[in-house]
Amino acid sequence: MTGNDSAPPSDGSPIGPIHSGRSKSSALIALGVTSLALRPSLTAIGALTPAMLAGGELSVAQLGFLGSVPLIVFAMFSSMVPALLHRVRITTALTVAMSAVVVGSLLRVAPGAALLYGGTALIAAGLCVGNVLLPVAARAFFPHRVGRVTGICTALISAGGGAGVALALPLADGLRAGWRVALAITAATAAVAAVAWLMPVLRVYEAGRPRIHLPSSSTKTKADASTVVMAGAFFGAQASFFYLAASWLLPLLMEKSNRIEQATFGVGAFSFAGVLTCLVAPSLALGKVGLRGMILVVSTLQIVGATGVFCGTGFVALGGAVVLAVGVTAAFSLSIVIFSIAAGSAHATVALSGRAQSLGYTIAAVFPFVAGLVRMQTGSWLVVEASMLVLAAVTLISGLLLTTRQRGLGRRDL
């Protein structure tokens, strides 16, 4: 590796390797703050569910649909994000994306359901760009540290999501401004992220880099398609778990004889558990344990945890939720690693990330809305609880099929 910053990157990445310590630090800061911003605007909804229902502005069905809005947007636009890189560079795309999150959050302050839905959709569009481009940016800026940087970023994603859950109620109650203002405040990290991507050192460095040109459709093989399906199913199971928990785990645990403080802890575990698991899981998957071994571990945790929620009450159900959260957050970090290492270059990474996330979010879009409808019609959480067991099985089956077809995964730390 040379010190010539003007030389084109060897893997065709849109940014290329970074050679200066200042550029590395700036890139890591931008990636870190963006990671923190990818969940609070959505996880806060789960913590504020009782307040939103108590106000009478939304019915259970409307709240369930609100939980599905981001997933519908993700499913529709994830596969379109790679095309943006034909027109703009990563720094520009992420600046605009984080700005959209801020604007959408401000729209949700206004009264009425229409702007609440519209603002949430705009937030989701911005987050969609961030979700797809995060593994691409990690590989482009740090081509030889994909596992470590991915672990840091996914840990920060989890920390940001947990902060959204933990701070939502105190912000709503402490400011006495209601749940709408609390939702708007969760966009603070997105505002910082937008500014971070405007750092001159990043924009000047990227200016000399060629943009991504994705492979033509004629180069896509059946093997590529099968990898997309398996990676999409694996990612979709984790996204389904996360948004199912964000929307309905709090009232479910409360109905199972847990106080609101305990139930909030169970919901927050789906984010806070990832602070540790996301740091550890990628390194283990890319090291001695291997991706297949880690998939067996996280699937077992998911099955055990989902069984505890399904069969238990009180602290048994709460403990099941925590175990489940550990398995889900670890599996989420593995899905981001898969996007990076299953593709041979940054070109293929952005294509796989977009297509697999589009499929995954299509799967995930069903659960929160359907769960709300079933709950409203039957008064039972049985479908929600059974869905958790099904999703754990999907994690296991799709993960094992993926590693069977891609035997080299997890045997090299890029």
The pLDDT tens digits of the residues spanning 288-312 come to 888 899 999 999 999 999 999 999 9
Put simply, whether the predicted model's pTM sits higher than 0.85 gets the answer no
Specify the amino acid at residue 260. I
Q: Looking at residue 19, what is its pLDDT? A: 46
- pLDDT band (50, 70, 90) for residue 251: confident
For the chain, what percent of residues have pLDDT higher than 90? 26
- pLDDT band (50, 70, 90) for residue 15: very low
Q: What are 19's two structure tokens?
A: 């050679």
* Distances from the Cα of 414 to the Cα of 136, 149, 394, angstroms: 13, 10, 27
- Mean pLDDT, rounded, for 16-36: 76
- pLDDT band (50, 70, 90) for residue 328: very high
Higher pLDDT, 280 or 341: 280
Q: Looking at residue 21, what is its pLDDT? A: 63
Examine the pLDDT at 348 and tell me if it is beyond 80: no
Examine the pLDDT at 48 and tell me if it is beyond 90: no
Average pLDDT, the chain: 80
CATH topology of domain 21-405: Growth Hormone; Chain: A; (1.20.1250)
Q: Which of 27, 70, 137 is nearest to 368 (CA)?
A: 70
Examine the pLDDT at 107 and tell me if it is beyond 90: yes
* Distances from the Cα of 133 to the Cα of 95, 159, 202, angstroms: 12, 19, 16
- pLDDT band (50, 70, 90) for residue 219: very low
- DSSP class of residue 249 equals I
Higher pLDDT, 330 or 343: 330
97-101, 219-223, 283-287: least confidently modelled range = 219-223
* Distances from the Cα of 241 to the Cα of 147, 159, 177, 195, 246, angstroms: 23, 17, 31, 32, 8
CB 68 within 8 A of CB 246: no
- pLDDT band (50, 70, 90) for residue 204: low
- pLDDT band (50, 70, 90) for residue 368: low
Higher pLDDT, 367 or 93: 93
- pLDDT band (50, 70, 90) for residue 191: very high
Can you list the alpha helix ranges (DSSP code H) found in 108-221?
Answer: 113-141, 146-175, 179-185, 188-196, 200-207
Distance from the Cα of residue 266 to its chain's centroid: 18
Hey, how many other C-beta atoms are within 10 angstroms of the C-beta on 307? Answer: 17
Q: Which of 301, 234, 248 is nearest to 273 (CA)?
A: 301
Q: Looking at residue 399, what is its pLDDT? A: 92
Q: Looking at residue 31, what is its pLDDT? A: 92
- Cα Rg for the chain, rounded, in angstroms? 20
For the chain, what percent of residues have pLDDT higher than 70? 83
57-66, 126-135, 275-284: least confidently modelled range = 57-66
